[in-house]
Structure 1
Amino acid sequence: MIRAGLRILLAVFYAYAGYRHIVDPQPFLLITPFWVPQREAVILWTGVAEIAGALALLQPFLTRLRIAGGFGLALYALCVWPANINHMFMDMARPDGGWGFAYHIPRMIAQPLIIWLALWVSGAIDWPFRARKDAE
């Protein structure tokens, strides 16, 4: 019950984030590291990937698709971590200190939790709550 609820919540979060990437890419372009090639296309396709992953998470009966979506969103969260780090450094360098450590440090800590959550709610892993069954 908790896993299903969190799965829906995470799917809604990713679907909304994907929508925002597509309809208003500017805030994401501002925090994307300079070394990322074709930044506009990357932002667009990350939005598409977030929506696709969210839809995969919502599959109640297509277990393999749901697990694939969980792996995809976990990998996505890992790959966008440099943008979050870049955002923190850019923001903290502002004269007013930007959002400050109270925002950025929890965000950095949350990233591995989001990665784990995508894997757990999709059913890709059961850790730390129970051992994975070989029959699945």
Structure 2
Amino acid sequence: MSLSSRSPVLLAGLLAGSAVAHFTVPKVFDATIPRALPGAPRTWTYASGVVELALAAGVALPRTRRAAAKATTAFFVGVFPANVQMAVDWRHRPTPLKAAAMGRLPLQVPLVLWARSVARTTEGRS
């Protein structure tokens, strides 16, 4: 199995792992929810975890991979404001935490490109 053929499986694994984290350590994610969003942060944390689980399942299955990878691309773009919120909120934290929060910002670009690549290279219809 080549790296390119494993790429969708790895992306699905990343999404599933992140989804599980949303439920096992939700407080970390609650802190990244932009305050401009209505409702309780925990609701958004759990909702994004559910979305990530659905995306992981969709990307893992060849029949739904293309559509799910396109949706994952949009999801990665859509959660960028949470990363910005985290960087703003953590700007006065100790250097390692501040660096981690700032490091998330450029990390979003390769994630978007990865999901887009999976969508483009998937054969078949979805």
Q: Same fold (TM over 0.5)?
A: yes
SS at match of 1:40: helix
* 8 Å Cα contact 2:33-2:44 kept in structure 1: no
Where do residues 50-129 of structure 1 align in structure 2 (5 Å cutoff)? Answer: 50-60=52-62, 62=63, 65-94=64-93, 96-97=94-95, 99-101=97-99, 103-121=100-118, 124-126=119-121
Displacement after TM superposition at 1:110 (Å) = 1.6
SS at match of 2:120: coil
Q: Which stretch of structure 1 is more off in the superposition, 32-41 or 9-18?
A: 32-41
Displacement after TM superposition at 1:107 (Å) = 2.3
SS at match of 2:90: helix
Structure 2 residue aligned with 1:130: none
CA distance in 2, matches of 1:92, 1:75: 27
Which runs of 5 or more residues in structure 1 are unaligned? 127-132
Displacement after TM superposition at 1:97 (Å) = 3.7
Q: TM-score normalized by structure 2?
A: 0.84
* 8 Å Cα contact 1:67-1:119 kept in structure 2: no
Taking only aligned residues, the RMSD between alpha carbons, in angstroms, comes to 2.2
Task: From the superposition, tell whether residues 99 and 5 of structure 1 become closer, same or farther in structure 2 (CA, over 3 Å).
Answer: same
Q: TM-score normalized by structure 1?
A: 0.78
**What do the CA deviations read for 1:21-72 (whole angstroms, capped 9, x no partner)?**
1233111001211111122222111101101111111113x1xx11111111
Displacement after TM superposition at 1:104 (Å) = 4.0
Of structures 1 and 2, the larger Rg is shown by 1
Aligned positions, number = 122
CA distance in 2, matches of 1:113, 1:70: 14
Aligned mate of 1:43, from 45, 56, 71:
45
* 8 Å Cα contact 2:90-2:101 kept in structure 1: no
The runs of at least 4 aligned residues of structure 1 exceeding 4 Å deviation read none
Query: Identity of counterpart residues, as a percentage?
Result: 22
Which runs of 5 or more residues in structure 2 are unaligned? none
